[in-house]
A and B are shown apart, each in its own frame.
Chain A
Protein backbone atom coordinates (compact mmCIF):
# COMPACT_ATOMS: atom_id res chain seq x y z
CA UNK A 1 0.00 0.00 0.00
CA UNK A 2 1.53 3.30 -1.05
CA UNK A 3 2.07 5.85 1.69
CA UNK A 4 1.15 9.51 1.85
CA UNK A 5 2.94 11.55 -0.80
CA UNK A 6 3.59 15.28 -0.81
CA UNK A 7 4.83 17.46 -3.62
CA UNK A 8 7.01 19.33 -4.00
CA UNK A 9 9.48 18.31 -1.33
CA UNK A 10 11.29 21.64 -1.30
CA UNK A 11 10.26 25.16 -2.26
CA UNK A 12 11.99 28.50 -2.17
CA UNK A 13 9.83 31.59 -2.59
CA UNK A 14 10.12 35.31 -1.92
CA UNK A 15 7.91 37.46 0.26
CA UNK A 16 4.60 38.38 -1.33
CA UNK A 17 4.43 35.35 -3.60
CA UNK A 18 1.93 32.56 -3.26
CA UNK A 19 2.49 28.82 -3.13
CA UNK A 20 0.44 25.64 -3.58
CA UNK A 21 1.34 22.36 -1.89
CA UNK A 22 -0.14 18.99 -2.74
CA UNK A 23 -0.91 15.89 -0.70
CA UNK A 24 -2.07 12.48 -1.92
CA UNK A 25 -3.46 10.31 0.90
CA UNK A 26 -3.32 6.56 1.32
CA UNK A 27 -5.83 4.81 -0.91
CA UNK A 28 -9.19 4.54 0.89
CA UNK A 29 -8.49 7.37 3.30
CA UNK A 30 -10.95 10.24 3.09
CA UNK A 31 -9.49 12.60 5.71
CA UNK A 32 -6.50 14.83 5.06
CA UNK A 33 -5.09 17.11 7.75
CA UNK A 34 -2.43 19.77 7.32
CA UNK A 35 0.12 20.85 9.93
CA UNK A 36 2.84 23.47 10.08
CA UNK A 37 6.03 22.60 11.95
CA UNK A 38 8.53 25.23 13.06
CA UNK A 39 11.31 25.09 15.67
CA UNK A 40 9.64 27.75 17.79
CA UNK A 41 5.98 26.67 17.63
CA UNK A 42 6.23 22.93 17.11
CA UNK A 43 3.47 21.18 15.19
CA UNK A 44 0.37 23.30 14.71
CA UNK A 45 -2.88 22.20 13.09
CA UNK A 46 -3.93 24.14 10.00
CA UNK A 47 -7.11 22.43 8.75
CA UNK A 48 -8.70 19.10 7.99
CA UNK A 49 -10.73 17.99 4.99
CA UNK A 50 -13.09 15.04 4.81
CA UNK A 51 -15.03 14.12 1.69
CA UNK A 52 -14.21 17.47 0.05
CA UNK A 53 -15.46 19.50 3.05
CA UNK A 54 -13.40 21.42 5.55
CA UNK A 55 -14.33 19.89 8.86
CA UNK A 56 -11.86 21.59 11.19
CA UNK A 57 -9.75 24.70 11.10
CA UNK A 58 -6.87 25.89 13.25
CA UNK A 59 -5.91 29.42 14.22
CA UNK A 60 -4.14 30.59 11.10
CA UNK A 61 -4.87 33.71 9.04
CA UNK A 62 -7.02 33.58 5.94
CA UNK A 63 -3.89 33.59 3.76
CA UNK A 64 -3.80 29.85 4.45
CA UNK A 65 -6.46 27.95 2.55
CA UNK A 66 -7.03 24.47 1.26
CA UNK A 67 -9.28 22.22 -0.70
CA UNK A 68 -9.90 18.55 -1.30
CA UNK A 69 -10.80 16.83 -4.52
CA UNK A 70 -13.17 13.93 -5.16
CA UNK A 71 -10.23 11.49 -5.17
CA UNK A 72 -9.30 12.75 -1.64
CA UNK A 73 -6.14 14.48 -2.84
CA UNK A 74 -5.72 17.80 -1.11
CA UNK A 75 -3.98 21.06 -1.83
CA UNK A 76 -3.08 23.87 0.47
CA UNK A 77 -2.39 27.40 -0.68
CA UNK A 78 -0.56 30.22 1.07
CA UNK A 79 -0.92 33.67 -0.42
CA UNK A 80 1.17 36.78 0.21
CA UNK A 81 4.00 34.83 1.78
CA UNK A 82 5.77 36.19 4.84
CA UNK A 83 9.18 35.27 6.24
CA UNK A 84 7.44 33.57 9.19
CA UNK A 85 5.75 31.11 6.85
CA UNK A 86 9.06 29.29 6.42
CA UNK A 87 8.37 25.86 7.84
CA UNK A 88 7.94 22.17 7.21
CA UNK A 89 4.37 21.57 6.04
CA UNK A 90 3.09 18.10 6.80
CA UNK A 91 -0.07 16.37 5.73
CA UNK A 92 -1.63 13.34 7.36
CA UNK A 93 -4.28 10.97 6.09
CA UNK A 94 -6.72 8.72 7.92
CA UNK A 95 -10.08 7.03 7.33
CA UNK A 96 -11.75 9.89 9.19
CA UNK A 97 -15.10 8.25 9.82
CA UNK A 98 -16.89 7.92 13.13
CA UNK A 99 -16.02 4.69 14.90
CA UNK A 100 -13.12 3.94 12.58
CA UNK A 101 -9.52 3.34 13.54
CA UNK A 102 -8.43 6.85 12.65
CA UNK A 103 -4.71 6.30 12.86
CA UNK A 104 -2.97 9.18 11.13
CA UNK A 105 -0.21 8.56 8.62
CA UNK A 106 2.07 11.40 7.67
CA UNK A 107 3.81 12.28 4.45
CA UNK A 108 7.47 13.34 4.23
CA UNK A 109 6.55 17.02 4.24
CA UNK A 110 7.24 20.05 2.05
CA UNK A 111 10.06 22.30 3.23
CA UNK A 112 9.10 25.90 2.38
CA UNK A 113 11.69 28.65 2.63
CA UNK A 114 10.57 32.25 2.21
CA UNK A 115 13.32 34.77 1.39
Chain B
Protein backbone atom coordinates (compact mmCIF):
# COMPACT_ATOMS: atom_id res chain seq x y z
CA UNK B 1 0.00 0.00 0.00
CA UNK B 2 1.40 3.34 -1.06
CA UNK B 3 1.99 5.88 1.70
CA UNK B 4 2.92 9.49 1.08
CA UNK B 5 4.47 11.81 3.67
CA UNK B 6 5.06 15.53 3.39
CA UNK B 7 7.46 17.44 5.59
CA UNK B 8 7.17 20.01 7.04
CA UNK B 9 3.46 20.24 7.80
CA UNK B 10 3.70 24.03 7.92
CA UNK B 11 6.24 26.58 6.84
CA UNK B 12 6.42 30.35 7.27
CA UNK B 13 8.98 32.40 5.35
CA UNK B 14 9.57 36.07 4.52
CA UNK B 15 8.88 37.23 0.99
CA UNK B 16 11.74 36.67 -1.44
CA UNK B 17 13.10 33.50 0.13
CA UNK B 18 13.75 30.34 -1.85
CA UNK B 19 12.24 27.26 -0.27
CA UNK B 20 11.94 23.50 -0.64
CA UNK B 21 8.97 21.29 0.14
CA UNK B 22 9.49 17.57 0.58
CA UNK B 23 7.44 14.53 -0.36
CA UNK B 24 8.36 10.92 0.32
CA UNK B 25 6.60 7.74 -0.79
CA UNK B 26 6.99 4.09 0.15
CA UNK B 27 6.36 2.26 -3.14
CA UNK B 28 8.84 3.31 -5.83
CA UNK B 29 6.90 1.60 -8.66
CA UNK B 30 5.09 4.80 -9.54
CA UNK B 31 3.44 5.90 -12.79
CA UNK B 32 3.73 9.62 -12.09
CA UNK B 33 3.90 12.20 -9.31
CA UNK B 34 1.98 15.45 -9.32
CA UNK B 35 2.26 18.58 -7.21
CA UNK B 36 -0.83 20.67 -6.47
CA UNK B 37 -1.69 23.81 -4.56
CA UNK B 38 -4.94 24.29 -2.72
CA UNK B 39 -6.31 27.57 -1.45
CA UNK B 40 -8.68 27.41 1.56
CA UNK B 41 -12.04 25.87 0.66
CA UNK B 42 -11.12 25.51 -2.99
CA UNK B 43 -10.24 22.72 -5.39
CA UNK B 44 -6.72 21.65 -6.33
CA UNK B 45 -4.66 23.44 -8.94
CA UNK B 46 -2.11 21.35 -10.79
CA UNK B 47 1.42 22.78 -10.61
CA UNK B 48 3.72 20.15 -12.07
CA UNK B 49 3.50 16.56 -13.26
CA UNK B 50 6.59 14.34 -13.33
CA UNK B 51 6.36 11.11 -15.27
CA UNK B 52 8.06 8.02 -13.90
CA UNK B 53 10.85 8.28 -16.50
CA UNK B 54 11.64 11.93 -15.74
CA UNK B 55 13.92 13.44 -13.11
CA UNK B 56 12.55 16.96 -12.96
CA UNK B 57 10.05 19.45 -14.33
CA UNK B 58 10.09 23.24 -14.30
CA UNK B 59 7.40 25.84 -14.61
CA UNK B 60 8.27 29.48 -13.98
CA UNK B 61 9.56 29.82 -10.41
CA UNK B 62 8.74 26.20 -9.62
CA UNK B 63 10.99 23.18 -10.04
CA UNK B 64 10.04 19.66 -9.03
CA UNK B 65 12.46 16.75 -8.86
CA UNK B 66 11.87 13.03 -8.58
CA UNK B 67 14.16 10.32 -7.21
CA UNK B 68 12.29 7.04 -7.46
CA UNK B 69 15.05 4.93 -5.95
CA UNK B 70 14.96 6.86 -2.69
CA UNK B 71 11.19 7.47 -2.84
CA UNK B 72 11.48 11.24 -2.77
CA UNK B 73 10.32 14.33 -4.58
CA UNK B 74 11.02 17.97 -3.83
CA UNK B 75 9.24 21.13 -4.92
CA UNK B 76 11.51 24.14 -5.11
CA UNK B 77 9.92 27.60 -5.09
CA UNK B 78 12.19 30.48 -6.02
CA UNK B 79 11.75 34.06 -4.84
CA UNK B 80 8.58 33.35 -2.86
CA UNK B 81 5.69 35.84 -2.92
CA UNK B 82 2.68 36.36 -0.60
CA UNK B 83 0.48 34.96 -3.40
CA UNK B 84 2.29 31.63 -3.01
CA UNK B 85 0.62 31.19 0.38
CA UNK B 86 -1.44 27.99 0.13
CA UNK B 87 -1.34 24.31 0.98
CA UNK B 88 0.90 22.27 -1.33
CA UNK B 89 -0.02 18.65 -1.92
CA UNK B 90 1.97 15.83 -3.43
CA UNK B 91 0.08 13.00 -5.17
CA UNK B 92 1.57 9.70 -6.28
CA UNK B 93 -0.13 7.49 -8.87
CA UNK B 94 0.95 3.88 -9.32
CA UNK B 95 -0.86 3.06 -12.56
CA UNK B 96 -2.54 4.95 -15.38
CA UNK B 97 -5.83 4.23 -13.66
CA UNK B 98 -6.41 7.57 -11.93
CA UNK B 99 -6.01 6.43 -8.33
CA UNK B 100 -3.68 8.79 -6.51
CA UNK B 101 -2.39 8.68 -2.96
CA UNK B 102 -2.01 12.12 -1.43
CA UNK B 103 0.19 13.43 1.31
CA UNK B 104 -1.32 15.58 4.04
CA UNK B 105 0.24 18.68 2.51
CA UNK B 106 2.52 21.51 3.57
CA UNK B 107 0.82 24.78 4.47
CA UNK B 108 3.01 27.64 3.30
CA UNK B 109 2.73 31.21 4.54
CA UNK B 110 4.81 33.89 2.82
CA UNK B 111 4.95 37.10 4.85
CA UNK B 112 5.28 40.46 3.08
- Which A residues form the contact surface with B (CB < 8 A)? 4, 31-33, 35, 42-43, 45, 48, 50, 55-56, 58, 88, 90, 92, 94, 96-109, 111
Among residues 38 to 79 in chain B, which have CB atoms less than 8 Å away from a CB atom of chain A?
41-46, 49, 51
**Interface-facing stretch out of B11-19, B21-29, B94-102:** B94-102
Taking A32-B98, A50-B98 as known contacts, 8 extra A-B pairs with beta carbons closer than 8 A to each other, sorted by chain A number, are A31-B97, A31-B98, A45-B100, A50-B97, A90-B43, A102-B98, A105-B46, A106-B46
Q: Is there contact, CB below 8 Å, between B43 and A48?
A: no
Which residue of B41, B99, B102 contacts A42 across the interface (Cβ within 8 Å)?
Answer: B102
User: A42-B105, A104-B34, A106-B36 are contacts. A94–B46 as well, Cβ < 8 Å?
Assistant: no
In the assembled complex, how far is the CB of residue A85 from the closest CB belonging to chain B, in whole angstroms? 18
| Residues in chain A near residue B97, CB distance under 8 A | 31, 48, 50, 55-56, 96
Is the contact region of chain B dominated by helix, strand, or loop, or is it mixed?
strand
**Contact of A100 with B96 in the complex, beta carbons under 8 Å:** yes
A-B contact count (CB 8 A): 72
Which of B41, B43, B46, B101 makes the CB contact (< 8 A) with A103? B46
Which B positions have Cβ atoms within 8 angstroms of A? 31-32, 34, 36, 41-46, 49, 51, 89, 91, 93, 96-105
Contact A108 B98 (CB under 8 A): no
Residues of B within 8 A of A56 (CB): 97-99
A27 vs B23: C-alpha distance when bound (angstroms):
31
Query: Known: A43-B89, A103-B46. Is A92-B96 also a contact (CB below 8 A)?
Result: no
A43: B residues at CB distance < 8 A = 89, 91, 102
**Is the beta-carbon distance between B101 and A45 smaller than 8 angstroms?**
yes
Known: A42-B104, A101-B51. A106 touches B98 (CB 8 A): no
With contact pairs A42-B105, A45-B101, A90-B43 given, residues A101 and B96 touching in the complex (Cβ less than 8 Å): no
